[in-house]
Amino acid sequence: MANLDTSPLQLILVALVALALLAQAAVLFAFFIVLRKLAKSILEEIQELRSSVTPVVDRTRDLLTRVAPKVEETTADLAALAHTLRAQAADVQTAADEIVARVRSQTSRVDTMLSSVLDAVDRAGLFMAGTITKPMRQLSAFLASAKAVVESLRSAEGTPRKVVHRAPDDSDLFV
């Protein structure tokens, strides 16, 4: 077989490798340039954002510095108000309990008074009914007997008298 000379072949391979390395270096350099531009634009955006956000943060900090004492004062006032309201609510509850107890006592007293008055009126009514009805029954019985005497005198001699039915409660009548 023929001996091939490897040196031109090696020279071509080395040249191809050198070209590949040069192409790779060019691609890497292009990546570097793109990344540097990207970093610059990001840095500019961050600076822009920082310049627009910084005044807002400063104003917010100033606002919180001014408002914080007022908020603390308002919180303290609200706590004092809540404490006062609790104390007054307890006082109102105590007063309401006392009023309810007094109303119950007075209601019991008025009930006792009305019961005694109504009992007295009932007893007086019974006494008046007994006082008036007894003489009225006696008068009614007397008039009935007078009527019976007059009728018996008017009637003929042999006619029988009417039978008068008495009520079972007429035992105390005057005849």
The pTM for the full model equals 0.39
Q: Is residue 161 part of a domain?
A: no
Q: Is residue 46 part of a domain?
A: yes
**Predicted confidence band of residue 157 (pLDDT cuts 50, 70, 90):** low
If one counts the domains in the chain, the total is 1
Q: Is residue 6 part of a domain?
A: no
pLDDT at 172: 59
Q: How many CB atoms lie within 10 A of CB 131?
A: 10
Q: Is 159 in contact with 168 (CB distance < 8 Å)?
A: no
In the predicted structure, residue 94 carries a pLDDT above the cut 80:
yes
Which candidate, 170, 83, 110, places its Cα nearest to that of 134? 170
Segment 162-175, tens digit of pLDDT = 555 665 565 655 55
For residue 98, give its domain range: 11-154
Q: Is residue 173 part of a domain?
A: no
pLDDT at 6: 75
pLDDT at 31: 97
Nearest-angstrom CA–CA distance, 56 and 12: 65
Q: Is residue 171 part of a domain?
A: no
pLDDT at 166: 60
pLDDT at 1: 47
Q: Is residue 160 part of a domain?
A: no
Q: Is residue 163 part of a domain?
A: no
Mean pLDDT within 2-18: 84
